[in-house]
Amino acid sequence: MSKEKTKAPAIRRCSVGGQAVMEGVMMKSDVGIAMAVRRPDGSIVKSYEKFVSKAQKGTFWGLPVIRGVVAFVESLKTGMGTTTKSAELLGESFQEEPSKFEKWLADKLHIDIMSAVMGVAIVLGVALAVGLFMFLPQLISSLIFGKAAAGEDANYVWRSLVEGGLRLAIYIGYLFLVSAIKDIRRVFMYHGAEHKTIACYEAGVDELTPENAKKYTRLHPRCGTNYLFLVMAISIITLTVVDIVMHALGFPPADMGRVPAFLIRFGVRILFLPIIAGLSYEVLRGAAKHDNWFTKIIRAPGMALQFITTREPELDMLEVAIYSFYLAMGEKNPLEEKKKAEEAERRRLEEEAKAAEEAANAEAAGEPEEAPCEKTEREPGAGEE
């Protein structure tokens, strides 16, 4: 493929985004969620369910910034569900006897046990993320700078910047650590397959096949890696401004204890998380839609991090991603149609060969046997009685 083809700007946009799952890829469009997974026997199994985001244009949930919060919450729910679904498609069962707590929770909330478990898992996941990326950086910065009361915190700006820098460093370190896990590296290969598939389709130059998709970049401007980096970066700016305003207002007051002051700052950060998530979403959308020097600068750090979160996929992984993509788009998959045609032709040839063999056997069985020689009595010759 020529360099110009690889670098060419996208000539058609699609709203499909995806996620790598266990031995497969999930693709999400405006109308549904598709998934394709390759089983150990080599077959590809698919699933599809309708899904329409609440963040529809013209509604309150579709307003700028607010739609980013909605998308963030929906992605958490979808991500957890698709991971479980991919394991089921692989043939792995999670059918276990529910615990007493799970039964109690389902009974009190009047919901399905599996939904209750999923909800608990999401809450625990969010709590872990908040603890790792919000609580821990603030704790370390408080140990460095001491009390955060307004009257005694002369380094409040540096406190915020160091806290934000720690948050970003923890995120990057986390990516490096998980990328060292063998199973995660394989998931990252499917992540690369997802990006290459979308890039090949959006370029509109080549037919979407594994061989063609492999030639395209595995970095994509709408990737979740970019989004999370923007969340970290925008949180540094937003929370620094918040700290400046709080300090100007004399809050927390100087006579407040260290622990209450810490908890108040932490609570303020939690309250601003939805705003940060919404702002990051808008920046991501804007940077993905335009291609100029400014948007390239904004995208650059997140794109660089994708060298960690994506890896070069194999052709069979790209095939899985393409299956999922076409299913999400609601379009016929040429690869699948070709396979069906080849399979139908193979069966036809097998049936013809079988019919010809049966006909040959029947013909051989119906041939008359060679007649035995007849015995004839010799007539007595002359002189014989």
Looking at residue 310, what is its pLDDT? 95
CB atoms within 10 A of CB 92: 10
Tokens 């070069």 — which residue?
Answer: 312
Position 151 scores a pLDDT of 62
pLDDT at position 91? 74
Q: How far is CA 291 from CA 221, 295, 303, 361, in A?
A: 10, 6, 14, 70
Q: Is the pLDDT of residue 9 over 50?
A: no
Nearest to 44 by CA among 89, 101, 100: 89
> What pLDDT, on the 0 to 100 scale, is given for residue 175?
93
Q: Give pLDDT tens digits for 55-105.
A: 888 889 999 999 999 998 888 888 877 877 887 888 765 455 666 666 666
Amino acid identity at 49:
E
Record the pTM: 0.81
Q: Is the pLDDT reported for residue 343 higher than 50?
A: yes
The whole-number pLDDT of residue 93 equals 54
- What's the average model confidence in pLDDT over 335-352? 87
Which of 121, 18, 76, 83 lies closest to 273 in space, CA to CA? Answer: 76
pLDDT band at 139 (very low <50, low <70, confident <90, very high): very high
pLDDT (tens digit per residue) in 22-35: 899 999 988 899 99
CA distance linking residue 7 with residue 313, whole number of Å: 20
What pLDDT band is residue 219 in, cutting at 50, 70 and 90?
very high
pLDDT for the residue numbered 157: 87
Q: What is the mean pLDDT of the chain?
A: 84
Tokens 């009190």 locate to 108
Overall residue count recorded for the chain in this entry: 385
| Of 214, 185, 189, residue with least CA distance to 199 | 214
Tell me the per-residue pLDDT of 170-194, one tens digit each, with 9 for 90 and over: 999 999 999 999 889 999 999 999 9
Report pLDDT for 8.
Answer: 44
**Structure confidence at residue 281 as a pLDDT band (50, 70, 90):** very high
User: Across-strand partners of 32?
Assistant: 50
Measure the CA–CA gap between 284 and 231, rounded to whole angstroms.
10
Q: Give the span between the Cα atoms of 349 and 351, in whole angstroms.
A: 5
| Across 88-92, 291-295, 378-382, least confident range | 378-382
SS3 assignment, position 275: helix
* Residue-level pLDDT at 334: 87
Q: What is the per-residue DSSP string for 134-184? A: IIHHHHHHHHHH----TTT-TTHHHHHHHHHHHHHHHHHHHHHHHHTSHHH
Rounded-to-integer distance, Cα 54 and Cα 258, Å: 42
Flag whether pLDDT at 352 surpasses 70: yes
Between 100-104, 126-130, 155-159, 286-290, the lowest mean confidence (pLDDT) is in: 100-104
- Cβ atoms 20, 187 nearer than 8 A: yes
Write down the domain spans for the chain: 14-345
With a cut of 80, say whether residue 199 has pLDDT above it.
Answer: yes
- Which range among 7-16, 50-59, 170-179 has the greatest average pLDDT? 170-179
CA 4 to chain centre: 29
Q: What was the pLDDT predicted at 267?
A: 94
**Chain center to CA of 196:** 13
Backbone angles phi, psi at 38, to 5 degrees: -95, 125
